Amino acid sequence: MYKFGFRPLSMRLQFVRNSVYDRRQPSHKMQQRYDYNREWTLTTKSEANSESKIKLLSYNILAQDLLMEHFFLYVNIKQEWLTWRQRLQNIHREIHKLDPDILCLQEMQYDHLPLLVQRLMASSGKRLEYVYKKKTGSRTDGCAIIYDSCKLQLLKEHAIELYDPNVPLLNRENVALLAKFRLKQASPVSDFTKDNKEVIVATTHLLYNPRRADVRCAQLSKLLTELRCFATDPAQNLTPVILTGDFNSELHTTPMQLLLNRDEDPAALNFEALHFGDYTASTLQNDWITVDYILRSVCQQSKQKLETLSVYRLPTINCCAKVGLIPNHYLGSDHYALGATFALA
């Protein structure tokens, strides 16, 4: 599966906290400009036990190799803001501030992942582990799921090659990554008790080409088929699913409508997209639009209920226009991060 000496699919690292990373805060003016219209908004008044809560972040962080390959897209941005050293500092600062239990990353360059994880552990004190799937072929980026192993136990993982040489519409190198977690309890309980709370987290990055919605539909069809199989236990019950990523599709387009289509079958993995605010955007593609999403499954045969407690609002289109092109002096990517907190009941 991996070439050029890449590591295996399951890559879990634990680093000893042996250094202190310089976390100098930006000026108040810079903080204000970035945080404008970005706040955590409650979506329910329900209260949940802290052991049942999960804070998740999804972020396309812009692989440095892709930035250099398409440098013409960033000619109007100061070069000092485009170096990996500066972008890593900004990305680290942002993730550290949001402090997720699970971090889903797209365009994560394989050789940059260990250092990012190390810095996040050094600044947070958490014990972080991860799974990773590089894109098919010679591409150096892929999808990663980083998680707090003190709070979550990884039960199983599955990497999906969305490339299939036998299917004309699946001739692109995109991938997806699935991971099933069990929330660890503060007090010891039996592995077979009803208190066990499990969730599947999936992340993907679909084809960009704006003219090839047909390819994205084919990629989503394959992803949904494998995700359904991954989420179904021997008793035909479904584990709740959080699906994240850069789908390179607006909500009204055919790929997203395929994903959001409701099936009357009680065993269907129906998804709903979380709402991150009105007139908001996650990236610039000619215009400021949203192509990044966090979705949750809503299934009648789900073993547990997955409830959304809060979301980290995306900036409004007007705010994006005022901030201007990204990456910038504070933001390390050309996408905005998405965040949400969930409860398992």
Query: Does residue 63 belong to any structural domain of this protein?
Result: yes
What confidence score (pLDDT) does residue 195 get? Answer: 66
Eight-state DSSP code of residue 50? G
- DSSP strands (E only) in 170-235: 175-183, 198-205
Query: Does residue 322 belong to any structural domain of this protein?
Result: yes
Q: What CATH code is carried by the domain that includes residue 242?
A: 3.60.10.10
Q: Which residues of the chain have pLDDT under 50?
A: 1-32, 190-193
Query: Does residue 38 belong to any structural domain of this protein?
Result: no
Query: Does residue 163 belong to any structural domain of this protein?
Result: yes
Taking the C-alpha atoms of residue 305 and residue 327, their distance in angstroms, rounded to an integer, is: 37
Domain count, the chain: 1
The answer for 43, left when phi > 0, alpha when psi is -120 to 50, beta otherwise, is: alpha
Query: Does residue 60 belong to any structural domain of this protein?
Result: yes
Query: Does residue 111 belong to any structural domain of this protein?
Result: yes
Give whole-number Cα distances, 244 to 42, 137, 165, 211, in Å.
Answer: 20, 23, 26, 22
What confidence score (pLDDT) does residue 267 get? Answer: 78
Collect all residues with Cβ–Cβ distance below 8 Å to 212 and sequence separation of at least 6.
none
Boundaries of domain holding 284: 52-344
Taking the C-alpha atoms of residue 180 and residue 286, their distance in angstroms, rounded to an integer, is: 37
- DSSP strands (E only) in the chain: 40-42, 53-60, 102-109, 128-134, 141-148, 152-161, 175-183, 198-205, 241-246, 271-273, 283-285, 287-289, 292-297, 306-312, 338-344
Query: Does residue 12 belong to any structural domain of this protein?
Result: no
Query: Does residue 33 belong to any structural domain of this protein?
Result: no
pLDDT in tens, 164-212: 999 999 999 999 999 999 999 865 554 444 568 999 999 999 999 999 9
Q: Are strands 102-109 and 338-344 parallel, antiparallel or unpaired?
A: unpaired
Taking the C-alpha atoms of residue 241 and residue 259, their distance in angstroms, rounded to an integer, is: 13
What confidence score (pLDDT) does residue 7 get? Answer: 43
What confidence score (pLDDT) does residue 36 get? Answer: 55
